[in-house]
Amino acid sequence: MANHSQFGFQDASSPIMEELVEFHDHALMVALAICSLVLYLLTLMLLEKLSSNTVDAQEVELIWTILPAIVLILLALPSLQILYMMDEIDEPDLTLKAIGHQWYWSYEYTDFKDLSFDSYMVPTTELPLGHFRLLEVDHRVVVPTESPIRIIVTADDVLHSWAVPTLGVKTDAIPGRLNQTSFITTRPGIFYGQCSEICGANHSYMPIVVESTPLSHFKNWSTLLSS
């Protein structure tokens, strides 16, 4: 999870988030190159003596027309690739339904006969030592590691948003509508998120906790919870 003095992204825990971080770095390098060029030209204009010679500007106009187009292509192609990757949902191993309420989440494992639960934030007065305030829940979402997961998101009352930054997932929960996305956890761990849509007085008190475990542990957990 994020630290107090952290300026960058959280460590990526899914292939999509890894692609997003790489694209962010790529876009920053393009922006750095543009800023460096503009700064160099401004400095050159300030230091050089003014000249009254008339210069044919056709070459300059050609360059400042083609160069921005190339820059836009360098940004658009990887961006479109990531957008298509985020929309791609191909034969998931597990389907999870998340329902937003004021102010908690309900989860249903639709591949199992009777596996569903509500997930509430643990109050600060009941928080175990070493757990994170305003981020820990009484029932975590448990998923198998390195397995494609499809999550269907909706809401029961107002707009919500199911977001886990380290997985690169953010999907709006809209009453009367089903939105879906997918993710794959690349390593075991506990990943924290929060509702990212202002949904009322207790908007900041409906966290999301995804626990990624090996497949054998997930089978034992699902069997125990279903029984």
| pLDDT, the chain, mean | 88
pLDDT recorded at residue 51: 57
Measured CA to CA, the distance from residue 151 to residue 180 in angstroms comes to 6
pTM: 0.83
- For residues 156-183, average pLDDT: 93
| Span(s) in the chain for CATH 2.60.40.420 | 94-225
- Identify the three-state secondary structure at position 156: coil
The CATH number given to 15-87 is: 1.10.287.90
Looking at CATH, the fold of the domain delimited by 94-225 is given as Immunoglobulin-like (2.60.40)
pLDDT recorded at residue 164: 94
Confidence of residue 56 (pLDDT cuts 50, 70, 90): low
User: pLDDT tens for residues 79-134?
Assistant: 999 988 888 887 899 999 999 999 899 999 998 888 999 999 999 888 888 888 89
User: pLDDT tens for residues 172-221?
Assistant: 999 999 999 999 999 999 999 999 989 888 888 999 999 999 999 998 88
Give me the long-range contacts of 111-120 (CB less than 8 A, separation at least 24).
112/222, 112/226, 113/226, 114/226, 115/222, 115/225, 115/226, 117/225, 119/208, 119/209
User: pLDDT tens for residues 76-88?
Assistant: 999 999 988 888 8
| Span(s) in the chain for CATH 1.10.287.90 | 15-87
pLDDT recorded at residue 54: 47
- For residues 24-31, average pLDDT: 92
Confidence of residue 60 (pLDDT cuts 50, 70, 90): confident
